[in-house]
Structure 1
């Protein structure tokens, strides 16, 4: 057994991970106490990384036109078909769509191959859905896509503002770091600005529940308020910026009174002015912003309005100060460094950058090969798939992402893919919504196998080390592209034998003709990491760029000298004119849709869906609704309901939430056709884009809400290998698949048809499941039924007809499936309890709260009622909240709710006891 250092593949925090490797397996993971991003902390997703591994469900061999082939055949076919498209239709008929899940080395080879040697500009990435507006705002204000802050600034700040960021769920380790900083510094204030009351509000000193899309109006108002109250840093503005007059003039085109701004943003005026005063009064202010800002048709301007306020107050380039864009993916920033966006060349050089085209051409040239760089930007993500639909782009190579799910108007995207002549997919999972559209499927390595670097939200480059060999015939993405390049005749330019050689070229390009004081100086420069050699690359410790001869140990914070990457060295304040969401409410779609992540899931669940304990915090797709809206639309808590949006429908279970704004609903982004029948968030949204960044308005949609009235609901739990086929799913109005440790749970609901009401369940089971009914209990009057199928006294399946609220805790059943897998027959005692689905002490545990220790809500509430009324006491009794800390806000909320309920019950009891004597006297 040995311990190895690597990096977590989830969010942009970029946590260091210590992996225990034993006998060719990773048996456990822990946080790396020496990594500056997390200092030993891991969230529940990171803590479960070793549970997502294994060959099951992995792509193991290449496929061409549905037939498994060897690598030589697959690579030759890719090269031949790409060449054929280029010959027939030109270079621009070829495209690629990449992912922040790729390592920097993968990204570098892809960008060089497609733009440099295939000569197509149409290479973009799913970072377009995540960070493109922040990128555009950085470049417009600072002259470069350069995040000025570092994580240490959270400890140095006097005020931290969270805008459009549920940090507690989306970047839990950073949230815990902020929480710790606040506990150590009572003077540190936290403000949360978000339409929803989220778990991040647990540490908030002030919450502004603004109307969706009004962020720019709020920050424009702040800029004007600072000017009116004499709170601008005039010295900093004069020395280091330009554009204040235009920015202020634009802000003042609207009424800048606090009352008017509060009315437009739908927030309390006193709370708003408190925020204005706190922001203006403190120098050390960090504003963390994420998808709530970026995923908008005016996301660049929203980010620009935030940056304006920091520049105007001189709150940048200082410890504890700056606008801080928090990246959504582990290597979204690394992809931008190498040119992974369609409007970039490489090494932070864009088409408009003077001399960039010529510089990249000369650097990539070999003695006998000169690259054929396109002379202008290519299609950004949405435009790319529209061009595929129009037939202008004939070939697309998609790597490590799933546009059939994640893009808006996803049904239209699927139509485009279905008619595209050549779809190549590089993927590690054997089942995704994208694979049915692929002509060529290439099996790739995944986390624990990939070897290279990633860059996190604070510009920190870390090694993601390959700890295990790829399973089957899976190969690294960079290797696949190098081999295709060789077969295309570009071998001289792609003579890489190790990712360290790719990184070295990337580092050299970053410093190529990049003199620190010269014209066209680029902020991104890691030339100090060139020439590491294989040993130095393998041992590379986390380091923040720029890394140069002058800064060999990296750079924590940018713009400390007040000089920016613009031609004159001055930052730009920009004129921002607020715009609301493009999709307008209507009689047909009267509710505003908000979308986002949930705590224990990641993107389209390709990885997290393999870890059963991550599936049970939010086991099914859901629709979060305020109780008043639920009543108005005739839906109840835990009832199935349907949303209808611009591009399709969404069916999921209702969750009532007082923290949800009235007139709005929230749905998660993660569920795909692999996990539910009609729960793709992308199907609800139209493809409206920010005109500057091309980022789609994924945070804003409009929907209608209506109840579903299935004739029946059922829970079917099956052993591995027991098929739940299309005959079951196609005749279900709703289904969701929920992996458990030793079995699969299927939540089913029947269509509201008269014939379903008289279903003969025993006949249905005999028709659709392979093993006969061995035990059953039926109540025809209520429609309830429980049944189980056995083979050789081993449990094969278990069914409960009835709402899921009647389910017992499934841990006992899960253990029985494990026993069956081990060849153990059911004991007489356990057979007797099988229909109940639980042992005497294993009743319903309620929703899962603590994923690390699998503690349910029922046990937590019982402990609170028994006197454990602090998170520390709950941790001591149940262990919840003692590992990653992600559930601490939820624990605190449960304590508060239970105490309020207990107080209310006591008051009612007291009032009742006071009235008793009168009642007795009357009697």
Structure 2
């Protein structure tokens, strides 16, 4: 077994901030086999469905293999000379603040470092921001206000050592599945109590002892009430507060003014939570995007931190606040100064001593003198022409930013746009003047830092295709062409990492938290074999927790309570926009799906953009299951499939944000999201925009499968991959001249189709001999066919596709529930029916579902509750 582990390439997953270790083995044909690394301290061999499917995402069918200038392939010299010339010309004519970089939490730390050095130290502007601004900027602001530095106090081990874990705005089961597995295991082993604070019931609630379904945006009231309760309880640590903190009296006074009625919770619910928190010393509070993505996100963070500081429950085993990030290297971006208001090594951009020290270290001709434009403000500046040249690296803001339509139009109108990415097939890359082929996961070397400060290596496992280069090298070559050859003369990522580590020694000298100077002399060989390492790494200390000793990074060394008060979301509901939209992720997809959508397995569970809405709201609007809804806001519109569920909060529907112009052009959810931001952190409020909802009056509905990628040219269309092609949902207003012509235009097929017609439905199949090229099913109602079966017919020889369902002797597994093992709903229901008294473990063992990733177990539990046959009384 050890020989097998040693033969694999140890690397790190490119998805969420858990930072799971991966064992990758090239298959010799450009692909990989993937499994979890049992020795990595983040996951100990576990992977989620997305991580397990990484090997299925390595195809080159849409990869950019050479630089493109105005849509034409060219060499690197021509493309980079043009980029350097355009940026230099803009700076010369309009100043350094006329250019900007918008980068990504999916960049490696070395790439972040070079980009930040180029912009802040040599161009001399702080106009570099990151899509991590959309993820965790409010946590950064809250940490700095309370602790004096952006420091994560605890570790993942605290989840196993806590007696109570409070999950706030965190659907851990879907968004950080491996941490969910660790927590579920701790609950089973030692009886850990779990509280979920979330406006909607999520899969995470499956293991919760208490679900507080609070009103959207009312977290500050809830935790202010908790602070007031703790101050009167035996949990209050008067010695810690007096010796190690400032501002408690002011924070408590303000907290007592908030009205708990704004939470929408009953007095019994809040009392149960407050008593449980007060009596449980080993308490961890995990928080994520439900807290951060708010116009009062920083205040929400500080309301949580206040409660831990009041009880002294911070920096000790099983105690403390723990922010979990959505991006794989959001932390690395924070360490290198990737945010517009930060310097590298957690140093302060507004501190003259810090700026002078960093400028001297870099030997830079200048240094940014003020914070740059944060993400929303940056694209406002692109829109109004203040930014003349924009470089977007490894992200897709034309889809992922709030007010996405305006952002798309701003990028399109910008004087000069560079995109470095894996493909030209993104909404953003299509708008660029120059597109540069970047190396992706599995092709590049560097480090990432996860949510508990563990630095891990991400390694190249296969050769980068075509002319693709790592992002650090692309930024470095531009730095050289702009006149700073010596400063950007790197021979590899290890050299960049050493410089990054040496710079962090400045933080140590200034008494700051981020110091990895102990790695500053690491050799290339030791860098290559670097084991997961939790920072800090210095002569003073290595790893561990922060603040258990009561020492903080404020000027006086004391933590600061922050007086906060409940503020409602920025947008106000009313007759025109009566609903408050919550947005987020689904279990098996990632961001704008440029990688995960390549895996047919990941596309089966939820293959279409949807609106999860409460039955009462659906009834009032006149929506039935599987209808289409037209959702409008002051900034945009989207058409979404209706999913009616009591898990949704009345008045607050939910929609996932993954679909793009490539996969669902009418369903770009961030077009609905207003660009309101937290005044401290600049993080957008992505979970509380106001919307109106109405039925989308389609004249026809369709479902199709096709061997080639379809043209999404109908009023509503959403497509996903299958093993041999694509499956597509369609709808339209107005009847086309003929269904045959529509199919031919959408799927690029020809010839006379096999046809089956009834009074309500038309079914067409296009063949090339015995090979199915495309099939289209249309009706005046949402089409009822066995979708997974129809998709599978692309693999068969002359299948009976127009039957639209398997024959009696062919089992239909039904819609996928378990993506890891491709187990369908019907298979699970059959097991439940055949063993009415079986436990969930027995059902999972019998079907193979829920035994790998475990993220589907809440859905299996729900199926058992809904469909399990009663056991006859004896």
TM-score with structure 1 setting the length: 0.92
Question: What is the CA-CA distance between 1:648 and the residue it aligns to?
Answer: 0.8
Question: What is the CA-CA distance between 1:601 and the residue it aligns to?
Answer: 0.6
Q: Secondary structure at the match of 1:806?
A: coil
Change (3 A) 1:79 1:180: same
Tell me, in whole angstroms, the C-alpha distance in 1 between the residues paired with 2:717 and 2:352: 55
Q: Please list, as runs of the form range in 1=range in 2, the aligned pairs for 1:861-876 lying within 5 A after superposition.
A: 861-867=829-835, 869-876=838-845
* 8 Å contact kept, 1:294–1:303: yes
Provide Cα deviations, 1:773-809, integer angstroms capped at 9, x if missing partner: 3422111x22x12221111322111122235652124
Provide Cα deviations, 1:456-476, integer angstroms capped at 9, x if missing partner: 000000000111111111111
In structure 2, what is the equivalent of residue 889 of structure 1? 858
Provide Cα deviations, 1:26-63, integer angstroms capped at 9, x if missing partner: 43111000000000000000000000002111111101
In structure 2, what is the equivalent of residue 724 of structure 1? 710
In structure 2, what is the equivalent of residue 495 of structure 1? 489
Q: Secondary structure at the match of 1:497?
A: coil
* 8 Å contact kept, 1:19–1:26: no
Question: What is the CA-CA distance between 1:229 and the residue it aligns to?
Answer: 3.3
Q: Please list, as runs of the form range in 1=range in 2, the aligned pairs for 1:813-832 lying within 5 A after superposition.
A: 813-818=790-795, 826=797, 830-832=798-800
Change (3 A) 1:643 1:774: closer
Q: Please, which runs of 5 or more residues in structure 2 have no aligned partner?
A: none
- Report whether the alignment pairs 1:760 with 2:738: yes
In structure 1, what is the equivalent of residue 424 of structure 2? 430
Pairing partner for 1:39 from 37, 44, 53:
44
Provide Cα deviations, 1:716-740, integer angstroms capped at 9, x if missing partner: 21113xx633xxx43x221111110
Q: Please list, as runs of the form range in 1=range in 2, the aligned pairs for 1:107-256 lying within 5 A after superposition.
A: 107-186=112-191, 188-255=192-259
Provide Cα deviations, 1:135-193, integer angstroms capped at 9, x if missing partner: 0000010011000010000111011000000000000000000000000002x210000
Tell me, in whole angstroms, the C-alpha distance in 1 between the residues paired with 2:687 and 2:139: 15
- Report whether the alignment pairs 1:461 with 2:455: yes
Tell me, in whole angstroms, the C-alpha distance in 1 between the residues paired with 2:697 and 2:348: 54
- Report whether the alignment pairs 1:84 with 2:89: yes
Question: What is the CA-CA distance between 1:880 and the residue it aligns to?
Answer: 0.7
Provide Cα deviations, 1:281-318, integer angstroms capped at 9, x if missing partner: 12111000000000000100000000000000111011
Cα root mean square deviation, aligned: 1.7
* 8 Å contact kept, 2:201–2:647: yes
Q: Secondary structure at the match of 1:494?
A: coil
Tell me, in whole angstroms, the C-alpha distance in 2 between the residues paired with 1:602 and 1:561: 39
* 8 Å contact kept, 1:640–1:653: yes
Tell me, in whole angstroms, the C-alpha distance in 2 between the residues paired with 1:37 and 1:373: 37
* 8 Å contact kept, 2:411–2:417: yes
Count matched residues.
865
Q: Secondary structure at the match of 1:54?
A: coil
Q: Please list, as runs of the form range in 1=range in 2, the aligned pairs for 1:491-890 lying within 5 A after superposition.
A: 491-512=485-506, 514-515=508-509, 520-551=510-541, 554-720=542-708, 724-725=710-711, 729-730=712-713, 732-751=714-733, 753=734, 755-756=735-736, 760-765=738-743, 769-779=748-758, 781-782=759-760, 784-802=761-779, 806-811=784-789, 813-818=790-795, 826=797, 830-832=798-800, 835-836=803-804, 838-842=806-810, 845-867=813-835, 869-890=838-859
Q: Secondary structure at the match of 1:462?
A: strand
**Larger CA Rg, structure 1 vs 2:** 1
Question: What is the CA-CA distance between 1:767 and the residue it aligns to?
Answer: 6.0
Q: Secondary structure at the match of 2:22?
A: strand
Change (3 A) 1:403 1:101: same
Provide Cα deviations, 1:550-574, integer angstroms capped at 9, x if missing partner: 33xx312111211011111110011
Tell me, in whole angstroms, the C-alpha distance in 2 between the residues paired with 1:296 and 1:251: 19
Pairing partner for 1:407 from 380, 386, 401:
401
In structure 1, what is the equivalent of residue 316 of structure 2? 318
* 8 Å contact kept, 2:66–2:468: yes
Change (3 A) 1:301 1:765: closer
Q: Please, which runs of 5 or more residues in structure 1 have no aligned partner?
A: 256-260, 820-825, 908-923
Tell me, in whole angstroms, the C-alpha distance in 1 between the residues paired with 2:85 and 2:534: 41
* 8 Å contact kept, 2:120–2:367: yes
Tell me, in whole angstroms, the C-alpha distance in 2 between the residues paired with 1:832 and 1:25: 34
* 8 Å contact kept, 1:24–1:468: no
Q: Secondary structure at the match of 2:487?
A: helix
Provide Cα deviations, 1:691-729, integer angstroms capped at 9, x if missing partner: 100001111111111112212111121113xx633xxx4
Q: Secondary structure at the match of 1:347?
A: helix
Question: What is the CA-CA distance between 1:230 and the residue it aligns to?
Answer: 4.6
In structure 2, what is the equivalent of residue 378 of structure 1? 372
Q: Secondary structure at the match of 1:505?
A: helix
Change (3 A) 1:833 1:438: closer
Change (3 A) 1:831 1:606: closer
Tell me, in whole angstroms, the C-alpha distance in 2 between the residues paired with 1:906 and 1:708: 46
* 8 Å contact kept, 1:833–1:839: no
Change (3 A) 1:385 1:641: same
* 8 Å contact kept, 2:224–2:258: no
Question: What is the CA-CA distance between 1:499 and the residue it aligns to?
Answer: 0.1
Question: What is the CA-CA distance between 1:859 and the residue it aligns to?
Answer: 2.0
